[in-house]
Copies of this chain bind each other. A is one copy, B any other.
């Protein structure tokens, strides 16, 4: 019984909601719908057909609709469609009622003209806040921060700070940290609500505030911000400019979105697909996302084929050589992908910044030597036992040894070089490094075969 109770409480009856929409029973719909958590509201909303979506915002105020838009993760195209169906005043009022950072996420997807027209009819204060945030480049701390924070002065009492807190609580993005600023709005300290609550009302803010306040620069990479927040277990981080002026704060919920985004991003790059987040699309749009990569890799593959064409004579004389091509190319690809993943992940988590990168390269060379020797010996023995030809065994075994050393190094070096060139190392995707290593490994294998041809046909 009790178990069922939980189920009922957590599992929302979307059918009931849907019915009330179809029956145009506004009262019942509003009653049920406004009870929901905004995330559930958004989940319900985004699965509706367009004409039913239109009904929903006819039944809701712009304030109520703002909560849905803050929690929706629909594709850019869908944003535009939904927005375009609203009257401009309704849309502008909804945007004004959203947290400024979320409103900016929406506006960033629109054309400059559209943004300008929404801002023009928007409440002035909200428009000002949004305009400030629109300046900042995507993927920086500035782009994910909000300006709705609570700041207090150092020479206040706790009582008066509590008063400000209560007044600002309804609109602030977080009330769990109060940031202390000086007369020129420079960040000088922080008080957690926890400290505030256990303190005496008559104490001064400067007595209990923590002066060792961690902050991030407004231009800092959002991934760096996420890392800091995660390592230090902060719930919010202040964002400052070069003069240490407090510009905004970044809250932990925004950072979780960043973490999810960056993880998906690295993952999809390793697999050479762009943006693998949306599932409601048809085969055509899926193919459109994958084809660019496949065609690049196809041309790289044609280069491999071209290079192999130069060894056609060798292959013609010793056909058995062809049999081991997939094995050698495959091993090169696999070991390269492993080394690549270690390097990319190291750069992403920041573990590699601290360590000298040359150390990584030396280590990868050592790793390649060990894995190459092991796999090379194994292959030599197996091929010898299978084909009874010691020269063929040695040729394949030594090719594996050399290939694994070179491929491991390539896998580590390519992302390091990209990082140095300020290119995101994750774009050195798995399939890309695999194709490069295909070429290297086949040059080694067929080159050696050509040189030592005499032993193979002898």
Contact = CB atoms under 8 A, between A and B. Distances in A.
A279 B306 CA distance: 39
A240 interface: yes
A343 to B, nearest CB: 9
A342 B283 CA distance: 13
Given A215-B10, A252-B252, A434-B330, A169 B198 contact: yes
Interface string A17-36: 00000000000000000010
Given A176-B193, A276-B341, A291-B371, 9 more contacts: A10-B214, A169-B198, A252-B252, A272-B334, A297-B331, A297-B334, A298-B375, A304-B327, A333-B431
Interface stretch (A107-115, A118-126, A347-355): A347-355
Contact of A325 (B302, B322, B342): B322
Interface string A318-358: 01111111110111011101101110011001011001000
Contact of A282 (B252, B277, B363): B363
A263 B229 CA distance: 17
SS class, residues of chain A in contact with chain B: helix
Interface stretch (A132-140, A141-149, A254-262): A254-262
Interface stretch (A58-66, A78-86, A309-317): A309-317
Interface stretch (A1-9, A48-56, A413-421): A1-9
A360 interface: yes
Interface stretch (A87-95, A152-160, A231-239, A450-458): A231-239
5 contacts: A259-B263, A276-B345, A293-B334, A294-B335, A298-B378
Contact of A337 (B298, B370, B431): B431
Nearest to A6: B244
Contacts of A169: 194, 197-198
A186 B349 CA distance: 41
In the assembly, how many copies of this chain are there? 2
A326 B323 contact: no
Given A194-B175, A276-B345, A338-B273, A322 B315 contact: yes
Given A6-B240, A326-B329, A337-B431, A166 B272 contact: no
A330 B301 contact: yes
Interface centre among A277, A327, A360, A366 (most CB of B within 10 A): A327
Contacts of A367: 283, 286-287, 290
Contacts of A315: 315, 319, 322-323
A404 B243 CA distance: 56
Contact of A312 (B186, B194, B312, B320): B320
A268 B341 contact: yes
A412 to B, nearest CB: 10
A6 B67 CA distance: 36
Given A302-B327, A330-B435, A335-B294, A319 B320 contact: no
Given A327-B301, A330-B434, A345 B3 contact: no
A250 to B, nearest CB: 13
A212 interface: yes
Nearest to A432: B334
List of 7 A-B pairs having minimum Cβ-Cβ separation, nearest first: A283-B366, A271-B341, A263-B263, A322-B322, A316-B319, A301-B327, A287-B370
Nearest to A234: B253
A102 B271 CA distance: 35
A161 to B, nearest CB: 12
Given A260-B259, A295-B378, A371 B198 contact: no
Contacts of A293: 334, 338
Contacts of A331: 294, 297-298, 301
A282 B244 contact: no
A333 B293 CA distance: 13
Interface in A363-397: 363-367, 369-371, 374-375, 378-379, 382, 386
Interface centre among A176, A287, A340, A386 (most CB of B within 10 A): A287
A257 B271 contact: no
A101 interface: no
Contacts of A252: 235, 252, 256
B341 A326 contact: no
A34 B299 CA distance: 59
